Amino acid sequence: MITREHCAILDAGDPLAHCRARFDLPPETIYLDGNSLGAMPANVPARMKIALEEEWAQGLIRSWNDADWYPAPQRTGNKIAKLIGAGQDEVIVADSTSVNLFKVLVAATRMREGRRVILAERTNFPTDVYIASSVAQMTGCELRCVDPDEVLASIDETVAIVSLTHVNYKSGKRYDMEAVTRKAHEKGALVVWDLCHSAGAMPVHLNRCEADFAVGCGYKYLNGGPGAPAFVFVAKRHLPDMRQPLTGWHGHAKPFEFTHDYAPHAGIDRMLTGTAPQLGVIALEAALEAFEGVDLEVLRAKSVALGNLMIDLADQQLAGLGCTLASPRDASQRGSQVSLAHEQGYAVMQALIARNVIGDFRAPDILRFGFAPLYVRYIDIWNTVAELKNILETRAWDNETFLTRKSVT
């Protein structure tokens, strides 16, 4: 039997325990929703104050040069690169994940002109499928959506692009990036990886896996703030041939010469479109300092331990209470979250949130718990399962307040 004391001992021995102080967290709250919106790194407000009151208000337009605003998307991209196994100048911060996905998917179809299948996955995060569908329509391709366990077998010589999310948003199931990428390359296809639920939560090895393209989000495990700008990775070998369709001036080889014809920048800057969302980039760049000195293997080890603890405690405490595990039990197939299914999932999660245990709900019945290893403690997992047990045992979820759906989840 796992005890509360055992969890406290794990926290006492946690090599990342000191990182929690890098975040400004509300008291008495357990936050297991960093896979939806990461907690705020404590250094962000001071950095933003300087950005506003000094750089913007006093420096005005001069700050694009003098405060180094202009190279911030590249600089921040290079910091993210270290977290995802990319090289320098292969990653840049820009736009949203959806917009970046559109760019890379269109560019990739142009690099595989004889082929017309975009292979995607039915259970992927909807925006990825919506965007792929639009790209297919605009480029004369066919979007082929298959079940997760059919992906590998479905990669054949007709496939131009395989578009997958590394870790599934709902189940937390993780693809074997290396195996999928290898198979795709054997068949002559390109792979686009969405890293929304892996960047910042575990080491990602884009270049070791010979990945082609990747996109990802700044506001989950990277803690960049609500709607933080996203990032995009293009393997250096593809940059010269890569023609993305959102050809705004910041992707131009010489944006400030204001020439009439578009000529893409030679490097990763070609993935830019409009002016960088600078306040968001500044917050994201500051937020990344929370990873300073963090060994990503240690981060992953803690993430796995937190997930295993959650599953073990659920087995131990929640048996017969209507919850079933909706994530892989095998940690090697799991990201940094554990999902539980319960037929009253929405109300159960509302009841948990009312007790200051914050996860989230994903239709139709998923209770989602994300573990950001920089600030989640083992004791948080214990307390979460204890509250959940109490809610289920007492049917505390069976309450008008919790059962009534808000318009937005």
Binding mask 248-267 for a copy of itself (x = CB under 8 A): xx--x--xxxxxx-x-----
Q: Which is nearer to a copy of itself, 19 or 131 (CB)?
A: 131
CA distance linking residue 386 with residue 384, whole number of Å? 5
> Choosing from 31, 219, 291, 369, which is the catalytic residue?
219
Query: In 3-state terms, what secondary structure has residue 398?
Result: coil
- In Å, how far are 125, 166, 188, 212, 328 from 184, measured between CA atoms? 21, 15, 6, 10, 24
Q: Which H or E run contains 142?
A: strand 142-146
Binding mask 58-77 for a copy of itself (x = CB under 8 A): x-xxxxxx---xx-------
**Per-position DSSP letters for 211-255, written without gaps between them:** --EEEE-SSSTT---TT---EEEE-GGGGGG---S---GGGBSSG
In the bound complex, what is the minimum distance in angstroms from residue 18's beta carbon to a copy of itself?
A: 19
Q: Which is nearer to a copy of itself, 170 or 174 (CB)?
A: 170
Q: Is 125 a catalytic residue?
A: yes
41 is in an annotated binding site: no
Using CB under 8 A, which of 114, 126, 293, 320 touches a copy of itself?
Answer: 126
Using CB under 8 A, which of 276, 340, 372, 381 touches a copy of itself?
Answer: 276
Is 26 a residue that touches a copy of itself (CB under 8 A)? yes
Binding mask 288-327 for a copy of itself (x = CB under 8 A): ----------------------------------------
**Per-position DSSP letters for 327-374, written without gaps between them:** S-SSGGGB-SEEEEE-TTHHHHHHHHHHTTEE-EEETTTEEEEE--TT
| Span near a copy of itself by CB under 8 A; candidates 22-30, 84-92, 160-168, 317-325 | 22-30
CA distance linking residue 279 with residue 228, whole number of Å? 9
Q: Are 97 and 127 in contact (CB under 8 A)?
A: yes
139 is in an annotated binding site: no
Q: For the segment 378-407, give every residue that binds a copy of itself (CB under 8 A).
A: 406
Q: Which residues are annotated as a binding site for pyridoxal 5'-phosphate?
A: 97-98, 125-128, 165, 194, 197, 219, 249, 275
Enzyme catalytic residues: 125, 194, 219-220, 368
